[in-house]
Amino acid sequence: MRLLLTVAALQLALVAFMAQSPTEGQPVSFVKEVQPLINVLCVSCHAGGRPAAGLSLETYAGLALGNRKAKGLVPGKPNDSLIYMTLNEIGGVKKMPPRRIAQPTAKEIELIQRWIEQGAKDDTPPKPDK
Ligand code: HEC
C-alpha cells in the first residue's frame, strides 16, 4: 500500500512537471511569437519613413539597434535590453506602449523576457533567391 502511494505521488509530480514545462523550457521563436507581438504593440508608430523616436521596430535589426540609453537587445539580459526595459519602465526609459493605448498582458511581456533570456535569437528565414 505504501509503495502504491509513493508511485501515485511520483506520477502526480511528473504530471505537474510536464504541465509546467511548455511555458518554462520551450524555446521562444522570434518569427512565430515575438515579431507578431511587436507588430501589434509597436509597429503602428515605430515604422516607416519617420518612425517614433527614430526607432524602426519592423525587423530584428531594428529591434537590436537601441538608442543612447541602451542596446536594443542584449542576449541573456532582458533588464539591459531597451525593448524589454521600455515595457517595464526600467532604467529611466520611457514606458512603451504609451499608457493611453492598449497594453500587453503579463504573459506577452514574459514571452519577450524569455526570448531575450534564451539569447534573443533571430530565426527569420533567409529570403528566397529571385
Ligand atoms: C502610439 C505610438 C507608439 C507605440 C504603439 C509605441 N511607441 Fe515607442 N515611442 C513612441 C513615441 C512618440 C516615442 C518618443 C518618446 C516620447 O516622447 O514618448 C517613443 C519612444 C520609444 C523608445 C525610446 C524610449 C526612451 O526612453 O529612450 C523606445 C525604446 C520605444 N518607443 C519602444 C517601443 C516598443 C518596444 C513598443 C511596443 C511594445 C512601442 N515603443 C510602442 C510612440 C509609440
In this predicted model, what pLDDT tens digit does every residue of 104-126 receive, in sequence order?
999 999 999 999 999 999 999 98
Q: Which residues line ligand 1 (CB under 6 A)?
A: 41-42, 44-46, 52-53, 55, 57, 67, 69, 82-83, 86-87, 93-94, 96-98, 101
Q: Is the peptide bond before 97 cis (omega within 30 degrees of 0)?
A: yes
Average pLDDT across the chain, whole number? 89
CA distance linking residue 56 with residue 54, whole number of Å: 6
In this predicted model, what pLDDT tens digit does every residue of 32-42 receive, in sequence order?
999 999 999 99
User: Which residue has its alpha carbon closest to ligand 1 atom 3?
Assistant: 45
